[in-house]
Structure 1
Amino acid sequence: MHIPSYKIIKEDDLLLQSSLHSCINTTSVSTTITDKQQDEQCHVRIESSSSILSGHFHAPQCRCSYTTLPLWKRYLIDFRMDMISFCLTYPIVAFFTLIALLNTARMRLINSHQQQHLDHLSLDEEITQDEMYYAERWGYGCQQHQVITRDGYILKMYRFYPQGQKYRKPVFLGHGLFQCSGAFVLNEKKSLVFALVDQGYDIWTGNNRAIGGLDHISLSPKDPCYWNWGLKELALQDFPAMLDHIRTTTGQERVAYIGHSQGNALVFIALSLQPELASKMSCFIALAPAVISGTLYFQFTPRPASTRLLSDWLEGWGKQGVCLYMTDRGNQIQESYDKIPLALIYGGEDYLVDGASFVRSFEGYDHHGLDINTRQLATSNQYQYNFSFPSLDLVHVERIPGYEHMDTIWAHDNHITTYPVIFNILNSARWQSNDVE
């Protein structure tokens, strides 16, 4: 016998169905309701009694249309939404606007203080390539000299000395690739040149061929033969010519040499090919020595260079990772030379040259700059670089954390980092053949 469904509906379900009775009636007569009433009603879908019995009853769903609302209600809703949006965005915009205004005010205040400082200094400095100007500006004497190489190039040198004082021990400073001797006078009163003069030294700065002038005894710079030179000519022609000029002019037997970057490379080449040149030097201080290449290839300022010179660097560093023209220990002639002290100073963040690897090429420095985990690998490859410098004795290595390639001559704190090391090496150098080390 079929039992009517209403007889088995639970009491709770009956109460629920009773609560929805009004919505059901509304649904049955929805076609007769006016448009205004339709805007306010809800269309309800009621499941069959079997759905209620099975427990799958779905609550009523209301669908109200915004477009059917009266115009004044729509204006009211839009106004409320605009107010909510304004209240949310205005504080954010106001905050960032205030930050921008405060930052602008801060920058104007800083600029005002800087301008007052500059006005107080009454700066009248000129921008010039004349190194004599900077010497005179800071109260030093300066002379310009010309040196002729064996192949006819006329080089420009500068001599710095304290006003009204006698000359003392000579020190020769050599610049890097795409640089000139002016690189050593750019730190104003704290420049390396002036710091050395204050220590009582007779300071000479040199310029390689085509730097500071294009003069030659017979060739014109328009002649391709004028540019037929490379790194080897700088090492075996320019460097010895300037070194001999200093010795002849000063009457001193030995000259201390301080180089930067390529200014070191050409001297290492010279001392590798002609170790006897060390007899004319009291010591060699290499700042950021450009012998083994790092991961960065070029940093430069616009100074002339020959195609052969650039080719030498690309052939050496680009293909081999080392500077060209230096002999190794396997080809070293067994001769005895008087050794001069060598100091290497490089920056911990210098990615143009690999100072640490160059230091490790010297005997006794196999583990320089290496941690415990990499020392075993270094030991198995400790003779990867076997440069031959029979007249050099590495006596000091200085690695300066945070320094990049130019920082060894341009950093604002050089008077704390590099200068004391330089002064100590110069004080212990051999200035005469009979000096005791």
Structure 2
Amino acid sequence: MTTEDVFGQIDPPQRLLMGPGPVNAHPRVLRAMAADMMGQFDPEMTTTMNQTMALYRRVFMTENRRTFLIDGTARAGIEAALVSLLEPGARVLIVRAGRFGLLLSEIAARIGADIRTLDVPWGQVATLAQIEAALVEHRPRVFACIHGDTSTTMAQPLAGVGALCRRYDVLSYVDATATLGGMAVCADAWDVDIVTGALQKCMGGPPGSAPITISDRAAEHIMARRHVEAGLRAGGTTDGVGTRIGSNYFDLSMVMDYWSDKRLNHHTEATSMLYAAREAARVVLSEGLEARFARHRAAGAAMTAGLRAMGLTVYGDDAHRMPSVTGVYIPEGVDGERVRDRLRMDFEIEIGTAFGPLAGQIWRIGAMGYNAMKHKVLLTLGGLEAALRQEGFTLPSGAAVDAALASYTASD
């Protein structure tokens, strides 16, 4: 048997990814990734990096000059933010209302931070009053939360949060992995210090790059930690203030210098992912942010209308549901995994399962980025209806697609 017999060319199925992410990448993004390599200090390469920074300032709705990419999936951006803001013993307040709030705690624990939490039942969000009360009670150095948690499909309101944090001299971090490019991520209007995102969800790109934006205040804090470390090496004292940033790769003080005019070598930029991120931002901005947000809202509303027309119960509070991911309860007596398998095998459509206390209780159905489109929503609803019927669930024939179409008509 030859090597060719065992390892043929990559030929993945043309599957419609309608789960909580990743989703199908926009064809323009895939084409951009096929462009040739450049040397990391080539003037054309650094120009491309500068263009990418400028594009993401518009995506993040910010004037932050330190707006760039972390090479790695969304979690790379999250870890870079936390490991650079926090040090052993530093107090952090984390809003935990789903799986990804718990992830922030896991990362902070590895850093050795003093973790305090504002725990909210899954499916709910924290109020501004609850956040202020927790800031007053715990007096943290850093506040961290998730904007849109795909484990619960809820979006945390953030208006006023940054102002509260500044009032109490707290640095703020927001994980916008699942919302960047699909909902307004207003870094400046929110007045938050660091926001991270991802390509593989509403931005319509592949996993592997994490856009980040950093305020001057956060940058000064991070750079001060590096200066303290340099003083220690020179034999100085710090009176217990500041410690070494506990990662080289995720040390934002070094990555900021790499993306600045200094171009201080830190790592070799992931060139193909840079191209992907640049093109994803161009696609988003050429559509227009408000038009894109409206397209995601229309897709989410149509998906919700279709699911309810099937007689299914949608999970969570409509007021705080992300438009890009909808949770729906698996009907009693129906094997949720068999339905997902039927969708995948018969229709080449993927929907998501759930985490933690929601495991086995809900499906998570996405409509984000390149997939937040009318025909893809209709195909998903039609396939789900057929798969449920094959599993013996009785439902009105065609009602889901009709309801989704009516929803789209109403939103036009």
Same structural fold, with TM-score higher than 0.5 when normalized by the shorter chain: no
Q: Which of 1 and 2 has higher RCO (CA within 8 Å, sep 6+)? A: 2
